[in-house]
Amino acid sequence: MQIPFLNLKEVNSQYRKELIQVLTEVVDSGWYIKSNHVESFEKEFADYCGTKHCVGVGNGLDALILILRAYIELGKLKQGDEIIVPANTYIATILSITENELKPVLVEPDEGTYNLSPDLVCKAISSRTKAILAVHLYGRIADMTKFESIAAEKDLLLIEDCAQAHGASINGKKTGNWGSASAFSFYPGKVLGALGDAGCITTNNEDLANAVRILGNYGSSEKYKNIYKGVNSRLDEIHAACLRIKLKYLEEEIELRRSVARTYLKEIINKKVKGTRH
């Protein structure tokens, strides 16, 4: 028997009534860009992660690209700087680095967790290294306590790619709140998924948050004044409205996925299939 991996219709049908209601409300409001739902979602998601700021953007790739571009604009990174990144990450992480003419340095994962290995990261650090881009793969948070101290010791930026691990934590501190800036994807299949492409960044750094917001809005914070060479990458009102509903149930959704994982781990008898039981 083939078991479907993820049935999005079923996932979203749990919230159908509330989704339809809010979609109708957005259609009837006449406000589709940068309005109340975006502002409220940004506050609610920042609270969820425990950060001061959240800025909605078009998708997870843009979230990563704009964080790195903002650091270039703020003078913290420059073209050619090396960024350490897991070799087994999704291609978006690497593309965000090359898109900014920075240099990805691929580091192999820890074989027990398939997340970035702190020992191998230390070996890969050179005089040109300026940031560690840790990716929390397969819902599992990377070893952030170690990366935090490595980054502090070597004076590196620590950036998180949280696209696959909303809500994962170490001692109650969630993804999105470890690095100097973090990127999230709300692609429909993610644990917090929109009904289309969407993403955001979280940070405690106000300058970084402002720079990302401006870069994603054509480089403009004031109409017809463009201070950066920006792009159009904003979180749509319709996605923010749906995400606000799904955020209320995120902890339940995470627990549901954990219980499915527990069933797989219990029922699949194969030496190659291993994982951590929650």
Ligand X SMILES: Cc1ncc(COP(=O)(O)O)c(C=O)c1O
Which residue, 106 or 268, is less far from ligand X as judged by CB? 106
Q: How far is the CB of 135 from ligand X (least distance, A)?
A: 5
**Do 235 and 38 contact (CB within 8 A), yes or no?**
yes
Q: How far is the CB of 197 from ligand X (least distance, A)?
A: 6
Among residues 135, 144, 208, 247, which is the contact residue for ligand X, using CB under 6 A?
135
Write out the binding residues for ligand X, residues 59-78 only, by CB under 6 A. Answer: 59-61
Site for ligand X contains 89 (CB under 6 A): yes
Angle at CA of residue 69, ends 64 and 75, nearest 5°: 135
Q: How far is the CB of 60 from ligand X (least distance, A)?
A: 2
HSE toward the beta carbon, residue 142, CA cutoff 13 A:
33
Retrieve residue 197's tokens: 């492409």
Q: How many Å apart are CA 213 and CA 224, to the nearest integer?
A: 15
* Residues 156-195, mask of contacts with ligand X (x by CB under 6 A): -----x-xx--------------------x-x--------
Among residues 54, 65, 66, 92, which is the contact residue for ligand X, using CB under 6 A?
92
- Find the part of the chain contacting ligand X (CB under 6 A) among 89-97, 139-147, 151-159, 231-239: 89-97
Site for ligand X contains 243 (CB under 6 A): no
Could you count the other beta carbons within 10 Å of the beta carbon of residue 229? 10
Q: How many Å apart are CA 102 and CA 28, to the nearest integer?
A: 44
**Do 65 and 199 contact (CB within 8 A), yes or no?**
no
Which residue, 165 or 209, is less far from ligand X as judged by CB? 165
Collapsing DSSP to helix, strand or coil, 202 comes out as strand
Please identify the residue of the shown chain whose CB is closest to the bound ligand X.
60
Site for ligand X contains 93 (CB under 6 A): yes
Site size toward ligand X, by CB under 6 A: 15
For residues 208-224, b (16+ Cβ closer than 10 Å) or e, as one string?
Answer: bbebbbbbbbbbeeeee
- Find the part of the chain contacting ligand X (CB under 6 A) among 35-43, 54-62, 117-125, 144-152: 54-62
Cα 49 to its chain centre, rounded Å, is: 11
Q: How many Å apart are CA 193 and CA 166, to the nearest integer?
A: 10
Site for ligand X contains 45 (CB under 6 A): no
Interacting residues toward ligand X by CB under 6 A: 59-61, 89-90, 92-93, 135, 161, 163-164, 185, 187, 197, 199
